[in-house]
Structure 1
Amino acid sequence: MNITISSTLTAAALTTLIADHHPDWQACFLNDDHQPVIGILPKVSWRLSADDTQGKSWTLTMMQRQADLAYTQQHLPSSYHDLLDKLSKYSEKQANHNSSDQACGYQHGLMGFVGYDIAAHALNDEIELKSDQPASFFGHYDIYLKPVAQDGKCGFVLICQDDDITLNTLINELNTLQNQALPKAEPLSLAPIWSKDDYQAAFEKAQAYLLAGDGYQINLTQAWLAAKSGKLSAHLPNLMSASQAPFAGFLQVGDFELLSVSPELFFTFYKQNNSIHIITKPIKGTRPRASDPVLDEQYKQALATSQKDISENLMIVDLLRNDLGKYAEIGSVKTPMKFAIESFSNVHHMVSTITAKLNADSHPLAVLFGSLPAGSITGAPKKRACEMIFELESAPRGAYCGSMGYLNFDGTGQFNVLIRTIQANADGISVWAGGGITIRSQVDDEYQECMDKVGMILKTLADG
């Protein structure tokens, strides 16, 4: 059932209003490479949380929607691999094998995220986690909204795949939202947990590991924190306007909010000749933007010719080629584009492109779960890099550096890397930034790279 709702709101603004007025709707917004979609009221959702920081026990909370749009809950013991098994089996039961080969964004499937901590913990169970927020969440969003322009009018098309749902109440609520003022974005002043000296100490330890042969690259990150003031969702429209991030996303589950303005694609799954193909575009290499066009071009060319950044990028390309080789047909893993420069609102990035054709028995969710954490935010070799990150960084990352996106039941989908990402729970708000450390790295340059990446977010949050 498709119903058009007139509106002058952007998808980000509508998401903010839904999150403010209907926090129980489990709203999930994905910018989806500038083809936004908003999932609401999932038919079933799965939230996996660690019961302690050591990850010795886990609880899977399953919520099922009733005809009156209320939810029942069930709590089960589970794990990272149990969650993958449950989601894969559920998706296979829902699969539509008659879907088109043409990519058309989110159609009907799962939306959600996998956090960095749980994926790193799966590589080494000594790595601790944030136990005060979900480690992973997915929902079967059979009710969703997409922007539409029709007969010269703007609005959203509300799509519901469940014939048993009476939509009148929902439509009335969505129409009522059109007349509501956007909630005030409370100014947030986030403070770094590290001083420059703290960062330098961690940097020097990372260099010592690299010189000892423990790894080739370590992605070292640091956090900025603040007490929670207002709802994080209120900042979504401003952050979207400031960043224009292609792979942005927002999710609200209980008192947990996840807001990402990520420029980085992790995986695109698409169909071609009845087979699932995959694209990944790792980012490694950054320079700031400049308002002076001449200086901006100089920064861009400096990145394009930087042997340090090229070698870093190549390391991650090789790591991801190896990750995909476990799931791809032999000989299908290709690198059609290396070291391209892509420019975003506040930085230039070096981006390579890797493609592959998946084996017939490789489920996209298995590829996603098995390839996390992404090599671009760990380093190489991946397992040892995660162990060093756990030792060097001051706190678990939580969702940051995980992956957020969607997977249609036909196997197509798209997931980002959760960089440029803010997370909020009842205790506070955090945002992180970092970069890859190699033996060629200079501490002042790496520290400044953190500032370049996080600066726009900190300013936008402070401005409110």
Structure 2
Amino acid sequence: MLLDTPTAAVLLHALHARARALGVPPPAAFLGDWRGSAAVIVPSVALRPAPPARVFSGGAGLVVVGFRSFPDVVAGDPPLLPTAVRGEATGLLTLGRDGAWRAWGDAPDPAAVVREYGGGSGDDDEAAPPPRWAAPDRDAHRAAVVDCLEAIRAGEVYQACLSTRLDGRLRADALATFLSLARRAPAARSAYLEGPWGAVLAFSPEEYLVRAGDRVRTSPIKGTLPAHRDPAELLASGKDVAENIMIVDLARNDLGRVAEVGSVTVTDLLAVRPAPGVHHLVSTVEARTAVDHDALVSATFPPASVTGTPKERARELIAGWEPRSRGLHCGAYGLAVGPDLELAVAIRTLEAAPDGRVELGVGGGITIDSRPHDEWDECLHKAAFTWGGGPAPWS
């Protein structure tokens, strides 16, 4: 059914007001490139903690929404959000590339929701202040990179992804902050999820798993360059190309665990693509599989691009090198509609507690050619969209 066309921001504000007025769970939103649409909004969904191994499969509703956090936890540093959440809903709204909303299941008419509950013009989100960040632990990150380089020289790993975490506080409510950042730095796989446990404000450029029936693809990102640099430098960088190709091999191996024999193929290798504040190298691996969504996730989780090669040894070493738990950072979030599944890698993702505390994980791949100073700069380039670009606010 074709419906009138308020903007996604206006509709989200109206649906949020509707949820408060009716005492129902808040909406969830997916902006950018989800299900072939400019936006997918679940008008109301109760997102509750769930077992990590059963987040995305089955259910009686039309759509399943959820996230699954990075599985390795550092002792003494509990994650801010639950390990996994899941919710089912019987209604769905999609904003087509033609600018029209379409309703599925029992989703309400967007225009009627805006008329009854408001939503404003969306301009107020432009003025929402970004989070206030404290300085992250540069020394710990440098020490981790140095240790990783020693492990690479010793032959324990070929590469590993190392992260740091930023701690801060929201200065506007979570939804206004999300919409403000989404307007300033739109990302292909943005999402907003909310529950009594807090909120997820996600701006990932990276597909993790995109499935249509028995066809599945994963598109790992490895290789990053600041947006002001010539993107051709990525393909000329031996370090970035090597990073990407090693992770492509890992992604092929991961999908091969559950794929039909002979169906795993690399369909796109070393494509240069823009993302907020940076350029990336992206490759795509495809396969066919008959397993359910959660079996597919379990076979490939955590995503290849945020671990290292070999994967299990890289995870063991990362748990000793990083002083903080990753939480949702480097996990996955998304939605499933029947036989279709779309998940993003949870990078460029803010995790907000109900009391306004917020965390952001950022990182990058380390190879033998990495330099600690450059790796730290890459972390800052990736986080800069949260304060409007330019120098870090604590410097």
- Shorter-chain TM-score tier: 0.7 to 0.9
1:241 is paired with a residue whose SS is helix
* Equivalent in the alignment of 1:114: 68
Contact 2:196–2:354, Cα closer than 8 Å, also in 1: no
For the 8 Å contact 2:159–2:367, the answer to whether it is kept is yes
1:144 pairs with 2:86? no
Displacement over 4 Å in runs of 4+ = 126-129, 170-174, 181-184, 460-463
How far apart are the structure 2 equivalents of 1:419 and 1:149?
Answer: 26
Quick check: 1:332 aligned with 2:263?
Answer: yes
Measured after TM superposition, the shift of residue 232 of structure 1 is: 1.9
Q: CA deviation at 1:179?
A: 4.9
- Correspondence for 2:175: 233
Distance 1:17 1:219, change over 3 A: farther
Question: Distance between the aligned counterparts of 1:21 and 1:386, measured in 2?
Answer: 43
1:38-49 correspondence runs (5 A)? 38-42=41-45, 45=46, 47-48=48-49
Q: How does 1:143-182 map to 2 (within 5 A)?
A: 143-147=91-95, 156-161=101-106, 173-180=113-120, 182=124
| Correspondence list, 1:298-317, <5 A | 299-317=230-248
Equivalent position amino acid for 1:80 in 2: P
Mark the CA change 1:147 to 1:266 in structure 2 (over 3 Å): closer, same or farther. same
The yes-or-no answer on 1:369 pairing with 2:290 is no
Q: Does 1:251 align with 2:251?
A: no
Structure 2 matches for 1:343-362, cutoff 5 A?
A: 343-358=274-289, 360=290, 362=291
- Relative to structure 1, is the Cα distance of residues 364 and 210 closer, same or farther in structure 2, using a 3 angstrom cutoff? same
User: Does structure 1 conserve the Cα–Cα contact (< 8 Å) formed by 2:132 and 2:170?
Assistant: no
- 2:373 corresponds to which residue? 444
Q: Is this contact kept in 1: 2:31–2:189, CA < 8 A?
A: yes
SS of 1:341's equivalent? Answer: strand
CA–CA distance in structure 2, aligned partners of residues 179 and 241 of structure 1: 16
Q: Find 1:80's aligned residue among 52, 56, 77.
A: 52
In structure 2, give the amino acid aligned to 1:141: A
Structure 1 residue 390: Cα displacement: 1.9
Asked whether the equivalents of residues 36 and 146 of structure 1 are also in contact (C-alpha less than 8 Å), the reply is yes
On the 8 A contact 2:15/2:113 being kept in 1, the answer is no
- Name whichever of 250-259 and 33-42 sits farther off: 33-42
Q: Is the 8 A contact 1:202 1:392 kept in 2?
A: yes
CA distance in 2, matches of 1:352, 1:155: 32
User: Relative to structure 1, is the Cα distance of residues 345 and 407 closer, same or farther in structure 2, using a 3 angstrom cutoff?
Assistant: same
In the alignment, the residues of structure 2 paired with residue 368 and residue 318 of structure 1 have an alpha-carbon distance, to the nearest angstrom, of 17
Partner residue, 1:100: none
Q: Which runs of 5+ in 2 are unaligned?
A: none
| CA spacing shift, 1:417–1:205, aligned 2, 3 Å | same
Preserved contact between residue 337 and residue 354 of structure 1 (Cα < 8 Å): yes
**1:192–1:16 Cα change, 3 Å:** farther
Relative to structure 1, the CA distance from residue 27 to residue 454 in structure 2 (aligned partners, 3 Å threshold; closer, same or farther) is same
> What's the CA shift for 1:7?
4.7
Cα displacement (A) at 1:325? 0.5
Look up the equivalent residue of 2:15 and give its one-letter code: I
Partners of 2:276 and 2:150 lie apart in 1 by 35
In 2, the alpha carbon distance for the partners of 1:3 and 1:180 equals 22
Q: 1:149 and 1:309 mapped to 2: Cα distance?
A: 34
Report the TM-score when normalising by structure 1.
0.74
Cα separation, 2, equivalents of 1:385 and 1:308:
18
Match of 2:312 in 1: 383
Assess if the C-alpha contact under 8 Å between 1:334 and 1:355 holds in 2: yes
Post-superposition offset of 1:227: 2.8
Partner of 2:131: 188
Matches of 1:252 and 1:133 in 2, distance apart?
A: 11
CA distance in 2, matches of 1:171, 1:7: 7
Q: Is the 8 A contact 1:12 1:236 kept in 2?
A: no
SS of 1:25's partner is coil
Tell me the number of residue pairs that the alignment of Structure 1 and Structure 2 aligns: 382
Distance 1:450 1:227, change over 3 A: same
Over 3 Å counting, the alpha-carbon distance change for 1:316 and 1:146 in structure 2 is same
Contact 1:13–1:236 (CA<8 Å) still a contact in 2?
A: no
Distance 1:225 1:46 in 2: 24
- Counterpart amino acid of residue 30 in structure 1: F
- Contact residue 32 and residue 187 of structure 2 kept, 8 A: no
Of residues 345-354 and 16-25 in structure 1, the stretch that sits farther from structure 2 once superposed is 16-25
- Alignment check: 8 A CA contact 1:221 1:393 kept: yes
Q: Which amino acid aligns with 1:210?
A: I
Q: Which amino acid aligns with 1:323?
A: D
Query: CA-to-partner distance for each residue in 1:337-374, whole Å, 9 max, x for gaps?
Result: 2111112342110111111111x3x1132112331111
Sequence identity percentage? 28
Matches within 5 A, 1:51-130: 60=50, 79-81=51-53, 83=54, 88=57, 90-91=58-59, 108-116=62-70, 119-120=71-72, 130=78
Aligned mates of 2:101, 2:302 — CA distance in 1: 34
Select between 418-427 and 324-333 the one with higher mean Cα deviation: 418-427
Match of 1:54 in 2: none
User: Residues 14, 129 of structure 1: CA spacing in aligned structure 2 closer, same or farther, 3 A cutoff?
Assistant: farther
- Per the alignment, residue 154 of structure 2 pairs with 212
Q: Which has the larger radius of gyration?
A: 1
